[in-house]
Amino acid sequence: MAYKITEECISCGACEPECPNEAISEAEDIYVIDPEKCTECVGYFDESQCAAVCPVDCCIPDPDHKETKEELLEKKKRLSGE
């Protein structure tokens, strides 16, 4: 499933450069994750990089965007042009 950023976000920006899919962007008050681009870093890293670097633990799995590992790998291939 894609990740999302909760309202606890302090807009520090630590997560944005870590995303291999450029799925994270700054919104009006907090950063947001585009679920169409988020692959949970599957195919790139062993863990989601946004969650690994977030100082307030506000990058969490989004239950509204459930995907299997296979679906995430397919999305990665599509996004990276493989």
The pLDDT tens digits of the residues spanning 51-60 come to 999 999 999 9
CATH number of the domain encompassing residue 12: 3.30.70.20
* Domain span at 48: 3-80
Determine the Cα–Cα distance for residues 80 and 57; give it in Å rounded to an integer. Answer: 27
Domains of the chain: total: 1
The pLDDT tens digits of the residues spanning 33-82 come to 999 999 999 999 999 999 999 999 999 999 999 999 999 999 999 998 88
- DSSP for 12-67 reads --SSGGG-TT--EEE-SSSEEE-TTT--TTTTT-SS-HHHHH-TT--EEE-TTS--
Mean residue pLDDT across the chain: 95
Determine the Cα–Cα distance for residues 28 and 20; give it in Å rounded to an integer. Answer: 22
The pLDDT tens digits of the residues spanning 1-23 come to 899 999 999 999 999 999 999 99
